[in-house]
Chain A
Amino acid sequence: DGGITQSPKYLFRKEGQNVTLSCEQNLNHDAMYWYRQDPGQGLRLIYYSQIVNDFQKGDIAEGYSVSREKKESFPLTVTSAQKNPTAFYLCASSRTSGGLETQYFGPGTRLLVL
């Protein structure tokens, strides 16, 4: 089945630690996205990538980094500079980055700080 997988489902971070969230898609989509979801806040865009080896900052990129070395993979690193990382993180992809394209979402990773 085609889809988007995110791992792990739950992730715990210690103070000062960098952690990496995985996102893989087998939909052959060019565009991929990372969103952060906080209760009552909706979804906010962290980073997006329109094509391999290219990515742009979204609205809340500070304290995060990404890479896009392969079409199917778009990992997100939450660095120690992100002071409030506790949230639900959602990865999405779309066929292209055009406005007509539907974004398909993964099941999410919940990050908690110890």
Chain B
Amino acid sequence: AQSVTQLDSQVPVFEEAPVELRCNYSSSVSVYLFWYVQYPNQGLQLLLKYLSGSTLVKGINGFEAEFNKSQTSFHLRKPSVHISDTAEYFCAVIENSGGSNYKLTFGKGTLLTVNP
């Protein structure tokens, strides 16, 4: 069964610093990978996704992520963060098992706090 581990529950950084939010997954088959962002008391918004092709994926708001199959990782990065990036970030995975039911499994989330 698939699982997702977000290694850091909280990441504090200063404004304009780079940030990396780590995500590792476990699966016996190929996967599709997603990063979602959640602002306080709101729903989730898709940042980016990896389905196939180039392992470097660019998303909205200047975020990017790199799929590393050998390390089963999909870390999220931004070279320079803003105060407005303060939010909770969720990594999620769907197994490409060839069946008709696709279940999105979420990590427990990483709270990114950007300080002035």
Contacts and interface: CB of A to CB of B under 8 A. Distances in A.
A28 B101 CA distance: 19
Contacts of A85: none
B46 A42 contact: no
Interface residues of A, number: 27
A107 B42 contact: yes
B94 A106 contact: no
A97 B42 CA distance: 23
A105 B100 contact: no
Given A42-B109, A102-B49, A108 B41 contact: yes
A104 B106 CA distance: 14
Interface in A21-41: 33, 40-41
Contacts of B46: 102-104
Contacts of A102: 34, 46, 49
Interface in A93-114: 97-108, 110
Interface of B: 4, 9, 32, 34, 36, 41-46, 49, 51, 90, 94-96, 100-104, 106-109
Contacts of A106: 43
Contacts of A103: 46, 104
Residue picked from A41, A42, A44, most chain B C-beta under 10 Å: A42
A65 interface: no
B104 A40 contact: no
A45 B103 contact: yes
A42 B104 CA distance: 12
A94 to B, nearest CB: 9
Contact of B42 (A40, A44, A99, A108): A108
A97 B101 contact: yes
Contacts of A50: 100-101
Contacts of B43: 4, 6, 90, 92, 105-108
B102 A98 contact: yes
B101 A56 contact: yes
A43 interface: yes
Contacts of A105: 36, 43-45
